[in-house]
Structures are given as C-alpha cells and as structure tokens.
Amino acid sequence: MRDRLRIIAAILSTPSLWSTALRVAWRLIPTRWWRTRPHLPLPSGAYLRFRLETYYGGQTARFAPEDVLKYLRWVREWG
C-alpha cells in the first residue's frame, strides 16, 4: 500500500505526466472488469507479475516510483 501511495505522489508531483498517466491507466483496465471480483477497474495480478518479472527479473520486486515515471516519460515520447 505504501508503495502505491509513493507512486501516486510521484505522479501527482509531475504535472507534465498527468495526461499520460491517465491514458496508461485507461489502457490497463481489463475488458468487462465489472464481472470479476473485486469489481474494480484494476489490471490483473497476472499482468502485474509479468511486468515485474520482465522489468526487474523477478516477481518479488516492487515497482519503484522513479521507474514508473521513467515508463510514463517513455510512453509520452513513443506512445
């Protein structure tokens, strides 16, 4: 939970990435998300584990706010 708050704080402190963050969040919403618990538009756990493994080399790692901002900058430039 604390990691998520740190990531949100990092994004909120970078206004130039707000629109990119919203676009990325929108793309991560699974199709028909309302049909599965917890009935929230959140990316699947399998997708997040895949991202952790491909970026950090393992599923036990945690997303760092700096890495999320770096990813958002990359999306803004190339997306």
Q: What digits encode the pLDDT tens for the residues 38-75?
A: 899 989 889 989 999 999 998 788 889 999 999 999 99
Q: Which of 70, 74, 78, 72 is nearest to 19 (CA)?
A: 72
| Domains identified in the chain, total number | 1
pLDDT at 79 over 90: no
What's residue 7's pLDDT? 95
Q: What digits encode the pLDDT tens for the residues 9-22?
A: 999 999 999 999 99
Please, what is the Cα angle at 56 between 51 and 58, to 5 degrees? Answer: 80
What's residue 61's pLDDT? 83
pLDDT at 3 over 90: no
User: Could you list the residue range(s) of the whole structural domain that residue 67 is in?
Assistant: 2-78
